[in-house]
Amino acid sequence: MAETADELSAPLGQKAARKKRWFRLPFTAMQALAVLLGLFLVAFAGIALFTDNPLGGEPVAHIALRKAPADEKPAMAAAGHDEPAAKAAPKQAPSGENKTVTIIDGSSGKRQDVVIGGEATDKAEGDAAPGMMAGIDARLLEKSRYGMIPVVADGLKPFTVYAADADRTKAAKMPVVAIVVGGLGVGAAKTTDAIMKLPSAVTLAFTPYGADPTKLAERARAQRHEILLQIPMEPFDYPDNDPGPQTLLTTLAAEQNLDRLYWHLSRFQGYAGIANFMGARFVATEAVMQPIIREAAKRGLGYLDDGATPRSVAPSLAAGQAMPFARADLAIDAVPTSAEIDRTLIKLETLARERGVAVGVASALPVSIERIGAWIKTLDSRGIMLVPLTTAMLKSKSG
């Protein structure tokens, strides 16, 4: 009642004023919060409007990059583009450091990932330019926008400088067989098996792909194997059957295919020649094949046709360039069983006796390496000589 009396005795409007003061504090706090929220929104809008970040709001991944030593030179590479690129010396890829590159084919638009060793910067996705191999004659190299590629210099050719040693006088007097094991460089285990388990007279052919083609090719040469570079070319069922990134295509202009050829040639050094990797359609099309053969011949390389298609124009084109050439007579492991491989090797032996020279190609399957190795051990007793491919090419040319 006292409170009621106080309210009744209070001056008119006093109670209302007291209520207004009771609500003033929380209302002022709400105003402060509103001001702070407004300032936050203004700041956010300012950042969004005036910060040049086209990826704002996108997920961000942070990657640790190794700082290159001061004595390493940067390398430039590009993936199938025709515009000029800066030239720089190639750089050796650090051991175990790989890069996955997505290459979009210029003809079909097909995307494909490939793991490539080494480091490089480029205009697009980035193809690594491998480093210099040991035992390479620097005079026989020139810079391309992808790295170092073979060249003829001082009267020397890669074909003669990088040919494996052989007794060519003896080879001229008896039947000879050359064996080329291809598809190497992708799969270190099978490549190492071919390098270490087969005699040095066996020629090894490397694809341009793989994490570290330079290291494996260098190891093959250290074991005195002669090496070739396989160039991926368009098969009849392309793109369903795709040899890989930078494949030479019948739908591309000569300049584009030559640019792709340079990419392949730069992957490693020390090869005596090149060979087709697949490519039944490409090797049968003279208009696109002729510039490739001419360029390889100009650079002092030999050429091996894998013999897969009888329509190949490579034999006549190579003859027109006076280019060292061989065509495979038999695919040794077309049927990859011990019995069939043994039968094919006997056929190869028979061809060598009849013609003086025979060439067989094989893959690095364990059964292939095992049967070829066992067969080679019997050759001397049967009057047949195993020779590197370059020796067989020279014997065929002289004959």
Would residue 379 count as lying in a domain?
yes
Q: What is the pLDDT, as a whole number, of residue 200? A: 97
Give the C-alpha separation, 162 to 135, whole Å: 10
CATH of the domain at 225: 3.20.20.370
Q: What is the pLDDT, as a whole number, of residue 26? A: 52
- For the cut 80, the answer to whether the pLDDT of residue 343 exceeds it is yes
Mind listing the pLDDT tens digit for each residue in 264-307?
Answer: 999 999 999 999 999 999 999 999 999 999 999 999 999 999 99
Q: Is 323 exposed, middle or buried (0-12, 13-18, 19+ CB in 10 A)?
A: buried
Q: Which domain holds residue 289?
A: 139-398
Cα four-point dihedral sign 123, 127, 133, 138: negative
Q: The tokens 């000029």 sit on which residue? A: 84
Q: What is the pLDDT, as a whole number, of residue 292? A: 98
Confidence band, pLDDT 50/70/90 cuts, at residue 82: very low
Containing 190, the helix (H) or strand (E) segment is: helix 188-197
Would residue 128 count as lying in a domain?
no
384 to 145, 230, 289, 354, 378: CA distances (angstroms):
45, 27, 34, 12, 9
DSSP SS3 for 35: helix
Q: Which of 71-85, 89-103, 229-243 has the lowest mean pLDDT?
A: 71-85
Q: What is the pLDDT, as a whole number, of residue 114? A: 52
Q: What is the pLDDT, as a whole number, of residue 212? A: 87
Q: Contact, 330 vs 323, CB < 8 A? A: no
Give the C-alpha separation, 307 to 48, whole Å: 63
Q: What is the pLDDT, as a whole number, of residue 29? A: 58
Would residue 84 count as lying in a domain?
no
Confidence band, pLDDT 50/70/90 cuts, at residue 210: confident
- Residue range 135-157: mean pLDDT, rounded: 96
> Half-sphere exposure of residue 255, counting CA atoms within 13 Å on the CB side?
4
* Mean pLDDT value across the chain: 80
Would residue 122 count as lying in a domain?
no
Would residue 316 count as lying in a domain?
yes
Mind listing the pLDDT tens digit for each residue in 28-78?
Answer: 656 666 666 666 665 655 555 555 544 444 444 444 444 444 443 333 333
Mutual orientation of helices 366-376 and 188-197 as an angle, nearest 10°?
A: 10
Full-model pTM = 0.69
> Half-sphere exposure of residue 177, counting CA atoms within 13 Å on the CB side?
29
Mind listing the pLDDT tens digit for each residue in 98-142?
Answer: 445 444 444 444 455 555 443 333 333 334 445 556 789 999 999
- For the cut 90, the answer to whether the pLDDT of residue 221 exceeds it is yes
The token pair that represents 87 in the structure block: 């030239």
Would residue 149 count as lying in a domain?
yes
Give the C-alpha separation, 159 to 70, whole Å: 35
Q: Contact, 233 vs 179, CB < 8 A? A: no
Q: Domain count for the chain, please give it.
A: 1
Give the C-alpha separation, 209 to 116, whole Å: 7
Q: What is the pLDDT, as a whole number, of residue 108? A: 47
Q: What is the pLDDT, as a whole number, of residue 44? A: 56
- For the cut 90, the answer to whether the pLDDT of residue 340 exceeds it is yes
Q: What is the pLDDT, as a whole number, of residue 135? A: 83
Would residue 217 count as lying in a domain?
yes
Among residues 222, 189, 191, 221, the alpha carbon closest in space to that of 207 is found at 191
Would residue 77 count as lying in a domain?
no
- For the cut 80, the answer to whether the pLDDT of residue 358 exceeds it is yes
